[in-house]
Structure 1
Amino acid sequence: MDQDTLLNLLSASADGDKQAFADLYQSTSGQLFAVSLKMLGRRELAEEVLQEAYVKIWHNATEYQHGKGSVLTWMISIVRYRALDMLRYQKVRKEDPLEDGQEAIFEEHINDDGPQVHKNKLDQCMGELEPQQKQAIHLAYYNGLSHHEVVGHLDLPLGTIKSWIRRGLQQLQRCLSL
């Protein structure tokens, strides 16, 4: 989604427009979740950080300053700070050791091979992509960069980046559906 659309949605959110905020969430949550998950490595923590970040975005939408960067960059910085706070909290917090018998309860749920099988299939399919497609998809979906940020990172035209990502995602979809 382009900068102007995100700016309009954020401005409307700052005025209390819940639908605009829902649209902003719908358009950006995937990228912000990717940033959070990459930093934290645990889905439940990444989801918690994402929720906290959107609460902060809702309450601080009026504080966005157009001249200091794009809306998405501002939102990513909020997610990063929330994730860093979570990392600090997890590091300081001491977990109580599990009592005898509790480990077996957790192992019952961990032994499900589903997510690992899906990850292996995704890794295999990613390996079949052309290097430039793989790099563009990795920057956009694993690092949470917008298409424009990928352009800046790779120093290539926007149309080229969008084509690589679109074709790569189509190839991934075909590969994953087999």
Structure 2
Amino acid sequence: MPGIDNTGLADLIVAVAGEDRNAFRALYDQTSAKLFAIILRIIRNRSLAEDILQDVYLRVWRNAGAYAPESGSPLAWLSSIARNRTIDILRQKSLTAVPVGGDDGDWWEKIAGPRNVEADLMDVAALRHCLGEIEEPSRSCVLLAYYEGYSRDELAVRFGKPVSTIKTWLHRSLTALKACLEPTS
């Protein structure tokens, strides 16, 4: 799969907002593997992950008009929908996310996923650099929340901190990541 063009994805999302079925198909073709990997990484059930992926694209079809390019990249927006929907399903079904590995696991490998190509490696390198700028335990909190699917309550228990502290760590860390990853103009 060639590198994903954010400008092209943004254009496709705008076209999907106008109910362009061809644009929707192209958007699906370009992003479904990545979104499926995100969902599967959290849920660890292929059949359920396929159902969630279908639901995610239904939500994309219905909410494409809500995408605001100034709030982040199209792939981040799509990934957020996939991650949030998967976590919602976990909570509804009283399931728990299955950790991908122990505390000593290779986070970078988990983030990159099995389908990344050379163009994506630059994005992973930038993410690695920016995550390296965030101090522990906030960095681990972000990784557990966004790549392992831990809820704020689960993180509060794991770190022995109040949920409000976890919310603050996540908010500050995501703000720092966004500032670090945004291209300077």
TM bucket, shorter chain: 0.5 to 0.7
**How has the CA–CA distance of structure 1 residues 22 and 137 changed in structure 2, closer, same or farther, with 3 Å as cutoff?**
farther
TM-score by length of 2: 0.56
- Among residues 141, 156, 160, which one is paired with 2:113 in the alignment? 141
Q: 1:43 maps to which residue?
A: 46
TM-score by length of 1: 0.58
Give CA deviations for 1:29-60 in whole Å, capped at 9, x if unaligned: 00000000000010011111111110000100
Structure 1 position 21 matched with structure 2 position 3 = no
Quick one: which amino acid aligns to residue 52 of structure 1? Answer: D
Q: CA deviation at 1:140?
A: 2.5
Partner SS state of residue 16, structure 1: coil
Q: 2:171 maps to which residue?
A: none
Contact 1:35 1:143 in 2 (8 A): no
**Larger proportion of helix:** 1
Distance between the aligned counterparts of 2:50 and 2:91, measured in 1? 17
Identity of aligned residues (%): 35
Partner SS state of residue 91, structure 1: coil
Q: Which has the larger radius of gyration?
A: 1
Distance between the aligned counterparts of 2:17 and 2:109, measured in 1? 32
**Count, aligned residues:** 115
Distance between the aligned counterparts of 2:115 and 2:25, measured in 1? 23
Q: What is the root-mean-square deviation in Å for CA atoms of aligned residues?
A: 2.8
Query: Which sits farther off after the overlay, 49-58 or 134-143?
Result: 134-143
Structure 1 position 69 matched with structure 2 position 41 = no
Quick one: which amino acid aligns to residue 67 of structure 1? Answer: E
Q: 1:153 maps to which residue?
A: 127
